[in-house]
Amino acid sequence: MATRKVRYKKLSVKTPLTVLREDQIDPTEYESLTNEGQISTGVDHAEENEYHLQAVLQGAGVAADKEIPVPPPEESTLNFDHLYRQKFSKTSTYIRFSQTVEECIGCMYDMTEEDDVFLKSYNQKRPASTQLSEDDFERVMEVFEDTAYIRTPFASVDQTIVSYDEMFQGLQELDAAKVMPHAKQVYEYWKTRRQALGNRPLHPTLKFELHQESDEQDPFVCFRRREVRQTRKTRARDVQSADKLKRLRKELEEGRQLILAAHGRELLKLEMLKTDRAIYDQRAVLKDHKIRLGIKTDDEDLVNQKPQKRKAPEAPAVQRPPPPAQLRLPVRPDGRTAEADLAQLSDRLAEKENELRADIAKKVQNHSEWNKGHVDLTRGPLSPVRGPRLDISFRPAKTQYLMTPPASASSGSLEEPMPMDLDEPEHAPPAFKFRGVAQDEQSMANPPAYRRRIGRLNRLWIDRRGLTSPPRDSSDALSDQWKYDQSSDDEEDVPIYEVDPFDTRALKFRASIPLPAWLLSRAHPATAPVGNRPSILPPPTLPQTITQLHSTQNQTTITPPPAPRTSPSMKTGP
Amino acid sequence: MGPKGGVGDAPVGSDTPRQKGKATPDTLKIGCIALVTKDGQPRRAEILSIRETKSGRQFYCNFDNFNKRLDEWVPVARIDFDQDVDWPSLEKEKPKDNKVKKASAAPKRAQPSKKAQKKVGKREQSVASEGQTPHPWTEFTENLAQAKAQGKAEDVEDKAVASLEIGGTPGVGPDEMELDEDETPAELAKKERTASFSREEEIEKLRTSGSMTQNPTEISRIRNISKVEFGKWVLFPWYFSPYPEVFSQEDRIFLCEFCLSYYGDLKSFSRHREKCTLQHPPGNEIYRDDFVSFFEIDGRRQRTWCRNLCLVSKMFLDHKTLYYDVDPFLFYVMTTRDDRGCHLIGYFSKEKESTDGYNVACILTLPQYQRKGYGRLLIQFSYELSKIEGKLGSPEKPLSDLGLLSYRQYWSENIVDLLLGYSERDEKCTIEGIASHLAMTTQDVEHTLQALKMQVYHKGEHKIVVPEKLRQQREKSKLKQKRLIDSERIQWKPPVFTASNRTWGW
């Protein structure tokens, strides 16, 4: 505000403000603190300074002692109970209502005092039985007014008055017996009234726009129609219509292709018929020759051979489409080819579907087989899933995913962490074979299997089976013993097992082995795979000393944030 | 500031010298400013119209600094002819060159004079709507012809003046006054030129949103309906409403309390009452307690009813405009129940889609229900709906004087309650927090805090102080146990409108 002497820190709506009561602050101080700035009221400027408003506003805030005077309402002298006779019964539920005013007020014409005078004098001349009731009078007048409105919408300008004959049709819809004797006279009355009012509707109406120059300034013209708003051009709308056009184009293109294909098919059919005919002709010639030369064989070469004959009835039974090489379609005279084609296609799909299902079932079975005898050695072991349970937290589908390692770490899917960063593909020809460990006949017969799952706290688990594994940290006393357990299957490929690991000779030998590259890479994170996804970098060639110890069942835990120290064969990302 | 000084308050009189002189009842003419007795006290008043009645000549007076709802027809006896009268000075000559000079010499001063001038012109225009003056017609048309003859160019400029003021009003910021001070004449001229379109601009704005007008030609018309029979009550309209023109000649008009149809004579009204079956607003009830009900009415589906409602409310809302149709609005109607039906107490309308974030377009409590706390309920209900929508809302501007007071009271009560809670718990609060808690816009919160002098700058930081007076008042009013809207009873989901609704005019 320009009038302020000291410029305060700007007050943001997010600033936390201390709330004090007036007695918690020095009163003299408070007086000086309150700013006297003019506050916008939202009232029109011309009216802001009106005497009564200012008087109340000066009274500061909520003072209710001063009021703005208004012309006071008065109690009506009309008989309310007579005018509003209908009783209202309260509903127990909230009212739901959608009828319009027009639907609720019946006859749209309400007779005026003038009409009343006319009707009374009109009825006086008649016996009671033939008098016109107020309701019927109104109905007749309504017909006149409505017809006039429809027939001569510009009556007030061109002064045409609808003739009685034209009214007749509308009157027919009323109770003719009661109304018709009076209609003509009422019409005359209506006509005089209309003329007296400059041929305007008898009921006073609101002034609507007539699209004339005078409309704009006329205060009585109200409720103008809004012109339809221009649809705003937005990118979303553009994209929408572009999509629609694309789809339309595609559909049209498909239709065109269909017709082209049908055309091609018919051409082929023609070709085939021609060929058939040629064959037939040739056979006829052959027959002639045979007769002429007196060769007597059976006429097998003159008709289509059996295999073809057999095929024809077979095709519908198996519902297989004919092999593409065969040009001859099983054309039946009744032309059911197209139908058969359709049926075959759906059958084909069903078959595929079945195959797929069988495949899945087989995989599920395999999977549960792999899981047989699974022993979890973690502290709080998770029991293996039994049976073909489709548990989302344990995703069997991932097994397959693991068996086909990705080409490289960077090409992995973006939304989930890469479970493993496997070897370069050059020495992993069969996709499902994990070449990071020693291969032998045994392991080929019992291929290694992996399973990835996500455990509590988003920990990533990889279960392996049929895989040699590095020794666990020997400091773990509890898990120590299994190292020396004999695995019955792999007994023969552990010849070094008997060697005392603390034998000086062995130690010496081991010390002479240079550190493998993968171990060195730990010191140089630059060589590690990109990204911080947990990844496993198995050594290209594992030292025998490490691979010698393994069990058929073991587990390695990979916890994404901290790198597990226990498994030297695995490595988390930098 | 003196009651008659200041910048914005000169509907009557101005700095430009006016011819003064004595007048008689016969010579007093439209545009004159005379001393007229109002509530026992003499007050300057502008004569806007003259009519002959059986009891003699009457003058339609607008009183200096009084709201137009207090305009009235006064008999000769109430006009003081002993005092000099300001004649409608040679309005046609002085206007433009004069104004331009003023603009260059003292731009700030120019404003009041412009206003006064414009007022005269505009009022004259509006007299055309007054059908009750058979005699003064000749005089009036003479005036008009004179005006036309005296300069078409002036007409154009006059329009520009009117719109200049309009251009200023939308930004109701406090520093608006200063704005004019640094304006060079060139700038001013430019502003005028650009502003001359603002009538069209406003209509365009109304076409797309809003229901309030800032346009003086729209609002300052002479009241056309003198008396309304409405249910058990007789109402005296405050402002012009575009009911059929012939109604201007009626002593009173009759409104059906339920369908709000309008009738010029008792016979047709009572005939209508025989047939009308409506007993509540024609929509769905969305709230009910022991005391009131709320109905939601779609302006497009219930066009007739909503038009009728707007005609009623226009009689009591000055800035409401009925220029465009009711289609883009929803009407929330508050009723009270008895054995005859649900009687209309008040309503507020709301745009189906407000580009300015308004949650109320027009809001009105009918006069017979005013000062009973119903306005508060209406306001509270509008904010409850905003809470359900999860939006912050504010009423459309300009507010009327009564609207401002009602809103101020609602805002201050709720904010004080909230602040006392904070103060007891010794917590800090943010303006944003208050706003989102009450579904009010942050500007409204700030304005209320400033208006109640609660926002202070103390020892280098902003603080909020709850004045003792307010606290006591709040406690007192709490004892009175006012009625409140129970938000649990609202059965309402924000209506959804599709793009095609929007495109095809709701």
Q: Which residue has the higher pLDDT, B234 or A396?
A: B234
Name the nearest CA neighbour of B37 among B65, B4, B74, B78: B78
CA distance B84 to chain A (A): 24
B322·A225 Cβ contact <8 A: no
What letter would DSSP give residue A17? Answer: E
Cα gap A502→A475, rounded to integer Å: 15
Q: Residue B134: what pLDDT?
A: 36
| CB-based contact B11 A46, cutoff 8 Å | yes
Query: In one letter, which amino acid is A308?
Result: Q
CA atoms within 13 A on the CB side of B176: 20
Residues 288-327 of B with CB under 8 A from A: 288, 293, 295, 301-305, 307-308, 310-311, 318-319, 322-327
Q: What is the 3-state secondary structure (H, E, C) of A280-342?
A: HHHHHHHHHHHHHHCCCCCHHHHCCCHHHHHHHHHHHHHCCCCCCCCCCCCCCCCCCHHHHHH
- Average pLDDT score over chain B: 77
Closest chain B residue to A68 measured between Cα atoms? Answer: B402
Q: How far is B270 from chain A (nearest CA, A)?
A: 6
Round to whole Å and give the CA distance between B168 and B194: 12
- Check pLDDT > 90 for residue B29: no
The mean of the pLDDT values for chain A is 72
Least confident of A460-474, B367-381, B472-486: A460-474
B226 interface with A at CB cutoff 8 Å: no
A253 CB burial (10 A radius; 0-12, 13-18, 19+)? exposed
Which of B185-189, B205-209, B242-246 has the highest mean predicted lDDT (pLDDT)? B242-246
Q: Give whichever of A264-278, B62-76, B206-220 has the largest mean pLDDT.
A: A264-278
Task: Look up residue A235 and give its amino acid.
Answer: R
pLDDT band at A497 (very low <50, low <70, confident <90, very high): low
pLDDT of res. A522: 56
Contacts of A105 in chain B (CB under 8 A): 259, 261, 272, 275-278
Q: Tell me how close the Cα of B354 comes to any Cα of chain A, in angstroms.
A: 15
- Looking at residue A564, what is its pLDDT? 43
What is the sign, positive or negative, of the torsion defined by CA atoms of B435, B436, B438, B439?
positive
Residue with tokens 């052959």: A286
Which run of H or of E encompasses A555?
strand A553-558
Cβ distance B457 to A8 less than 8 Å, yes or no, reads yes
Chain A contact probe: residue of B266, B268, B470, B474 with most A CBs at under 10 A:
B268
Q: Within 13 Å of residue A53, how many CA atoms lie on the same side as its CB? A: 26
Check residues A481 and A218 and name the one with the higher pLDDT.
A218
Q: Band of the pLDDT at A562, cuts 50, 70, 90?
A: very low
Q: What is the pLDDT of residues B161-196, one digit of tens each?
A: 333 333 333 333 333 333 333 444 444 444 444 444
Q: Tens digit of pLDDT for each residue in B439-448? A: 999 999 999 9
pLDDT at residue A547 is higher than 80 = no
The model's pLDDT over A122-157, given as tens digits with 9 standing for 90+, comes to 999 888 888 889 999 999 999 999 999 888 888 888
Least confident of A253-267, B19-33, B208-222: B208-222
What percent of chain A clears pLDDT 70, i.e. is strictly above it? 57
**Interchain contact B395–A (C-beta under 8 A):** yes
Chain A residue with CA closest to B270: the answer is A83
A38 pLDDT higher than 60: yes
CB contact under 8 A, B308 and A101: yes
Q: What is the mean pLDDT of residues A249-260?
A: 95
Q: In the predicted model, is pLDDT for residue B20 greater than 90? A: no
| Residue B396 a catalytic site member | yes
Out of A116-120, A336-340, B236-240, B247-251, pick the least confident: A336-340
The answer on pLDDT for B291 being more than 80 is: yes
| Contact in structure between A69 and B420 (CB atoms under 8 Å) | no
pLDDT grade for B121, boundaries at 50, 70 and 90: very low
Provide mean pLDDT across the span B383-412: 93
Mean pLDDT of A199-213: 84
Gap between the Cα atoms of A323 and A332, Å rounded: 18
CA distance B344 to B279: 10
Report the pLDDT value the prediction gives residue A297, as an integer from 0 to 100.
73
- Which letter, b or e, does each residue of A161-195 get, where b requires 16 or more Cβ atoms within 10 Å of its Cβ? ebeeeebeebbeebeeeebeebbeebbebbbebbe
Kindly identify which residue of chain B lies nearest to residue A59, measuring between CA atoms.
B452
Q: Is the pLDDT of residue B361 over 90?
A: yes
Q: CB A33 to CB B247 under 8 A?
A: no
Asked whether the predicted pLDDT for residue B33 surpasses 50, the reply is yes
A399, pLDDT greater than 50: no
The model's pTM: 0.61
CA distance A15 to chain B (A): 6
Q: Is-contact B395 B414, C-beta < 8 A?
A: no
Do the chains contact at A20 and B423, CB–CB below 8 Å?
A: yes
Name chain B contacts of A141, Cβ cutoff 8 Å: none
Q: What is the arithmetic mean of pLDDT over A392-417?
A: 46
For the cut 50, the answer to whether the pLDDT of residue B55 exceeds it is yes
Please indicate whether residue A171 or residue A534 has the higher confidence score (pLDDT): A171
Q: 């009003």: which residue's tokens?
A: B169
Most confident region among A346-350, B44-48, B73-77, B435-439 by mean pLDDT: B435-439
B111/A354: higher pLDDT: A354
Q: Over 50: is that where the pLDDT of B346 sits?
A: yes
Stretch A324-350: mean pLDDT? 59
What is the pLDDT at residue B141?
39
Neighboring chain A residues of B257 at a CB cutoff of 8 Å: 84
Of all residues in chain A, the one with the smallest CA distance to B401 is: A53
Active-site position among B91, B130, B250, B396: B396
| Mean pLDDT calculated for residue range A106-118 | 92
Residue A294: exposed, middle, or buried by beta-carbon count in 10 A (0-12, 13-18, 19+)? exposed
Count of beta carbons in the 10 Å neighbourhood of residue A532: 13
The whole-number pLDDT of residue A103 equals 92
Torsion of the alpha carbons at B258, B263, B268 and B272, rounded to the nearest 10: -20
Which candidate from A38, A49, A90 shows the least CB-CB separation from B337? A90
Q: Number of residue pairs across A and B with CB atoms under 8 Å?
A: 373
φ, ψ for residue A233 (rounded to 5)? -80, 120
Q: Do A84 and B463 touch (CB under 8 A)?
A: no
* Cα distance between residue B450 and residue B464, in whole Å: 10
How far CA A247 is from CA of A251, A375, B93, in Å, comes to 6, 55, 70
**pLDDT computed for residue A228 by the predictor:** 62
Q: Which chain A residues have a beta carbon less than 8 Å from that of B395?
A: 42
B86 interface with A at CB cutoff 8 Å:
no
